[in-house]
Structure 1
Amino acid sequence: MQDDEILAEFRASQALLEGHFILSSGLHSAHYLQCARVLMDPMRASRLASALAARMPRDVRSQIDLVISPAMGGLIIGHEMGRALGVEAMFVERPTGTFELRRGFAIKPGQKVLLMEDVVTTGLSSREAIAAVNAAGGEVIAAGALVDRSAGEVSLGVPFFPLISLNFPSYPAESLPPELASIPATKPGSRKEPEAA
């Protein structure tokens, strides 16, 4: 699957949004990828996961015992990567602010893990999830994502395989360009700020 075909999948599902968005990283951008929309069609999700699995080196694919993704965004694509690779898929979640395995999930000591995300911007949540997997006895040998928004700058400490890299600019709140600052910001992701009591 070529980059233009991948982008066509995002456009067809109305997953590529324009406006003023606050990303889960806290950065602001004029573009937002609502990966939940591109993944809501099971056949499309399967195609995208299969395309990513095909792009990963065979020696990496052959070592993977398990796919683990951070909840919420990585759930569907993590499950589909498990299907594409023929291995089980689990997820970590943050019930108290720190990633952990729950729901009876367990990693056998030394299992080789692919950490799978929907979108990576700064890599913070990926690094936190990798630390949780390693603490639970797994060995994260690679990370994957549908989209790399880091402009190729992210460092996760393991080989990183994105399906596509999209280099939309993102800005800290205090450094917004005037055209972006003039548009009200929305935060469409799954992580919301806690409401004031």
Structure 2
Amino acid sequence: MSEEEILTEFRASNALLDGHFILSSGLRSPRYLQCARVLMDGKRAQRLAEALASTLPHEVRAQIDVVVSPAMGGVIIGHEMGRALGRPAMFLERPDGNFHFRRGFALEPGARVLMVEDVVTTGLSSREAIAAVGEAGGTVVAEAALVDRSGGLADLGVPFFPLIRIDVPTYAEGDLPPELAAIPAVKPGSRAA
């Protein structure tokens, strides 16, 4: 898929939003990608996952035993990536603020994992999820995400393969431009600030 085809998928599902948004990282942004909306159509989710899977080099694909994603945002795309790659998919949850496997999910010792996210902004959730996989006995060999909005700055400690990179400015709460400060902030994500 081309960049324009990917953005068309987001626009067609009203998943590319303009306003004043509080991101999971706590940063503020004038644009938000609501990946849950773009993934609510199963055929669209399948197309995006297949396109994302195709970005992975053969040598990375050959290493993957299992796909893991952090809840909530990564659950759907993680499941679809498991399907696209023909690998099992499971997810991590934060019942106490830290990522853990639950619901009977467990990694085989030494399992090689592809971490899958919807959007990476600072990489904090990804790094926390990668650490949880390590604590559970697995090794993350790479990460894939629908969107990299880090400006290429997210250091995940593993190779990173986004479907699309979108450079949208982010701001600390105290450094908002006047036009953004004039708009009420909303927090559309799944993680508390």
Within the alignment, does 1:106 sit opposite 2:98 as a pair?
no
Residues 95-150 of structure 1 deviation map (CA, whole Å, 9 limit, x = unaligned): 00110001111100111100000000000010000000011000100001000010
Alignment partner, residue 56 of structure 1 = 56
Alignment partner, residue 26 of structure 1 = 26
What TM-score results when the alignment is normalised by the length of structure 1?
Answer: 0.97
Identity of aligned residues (%): 70
Matches within 5 A, 1:146-165: 146-165=146-165
Q: Distance in 1 between matches of 2:176 and 2:57?
A: 39
Q: Distance in 2 between matches of 1:97 and 1:50?
A: 31
Runs of 4+ with >2 A deviation: none
Within the alignment, does 1:71 sit opposite 2:71 as a pair?
yes
Alignment partner, residue 173 of structure 2 = 173
Counterpart residue identity of residue 88, structure 1: P
Alignment RMSD (CA, Å): 0.6
Residues 140-178 of structure 1 deviation map (CA, whole Å, 9 limit, x = unaligned): 000010000100010000000000000000000010011
Structure 1 position 192, deviation (Å): 3.4
* Residue-pair matches, total: 193
Structure 1 position 62, deviation (Å): 1.1
Structure 1 position 191, deviation (Å): 1.9
Structure 1 position 34, deviation (Å): 0.4
What TM-score results when the alignment is normalised by the length of structure 2?
Answer: 0.99
In structure 2, stretches of 5+ residues that fail to align are: none
Alignment partner, residue 37 of structure 2 = 37
Q: Distance in 2 between matches of 1:69 and 1:98?
A: 14
Q: Distance in 2 between matches of 1:121 and 1:158?
A: 16
Counterpart residue identity of residue 43, structure 2: M
Q: Distance in 2 between matches of 1:16 and 1:150?
A: 17
Residues 83-103 of structure 1 deviation map (CA, whole Å, 9 limit, x = unaligned): 000000000000001100011
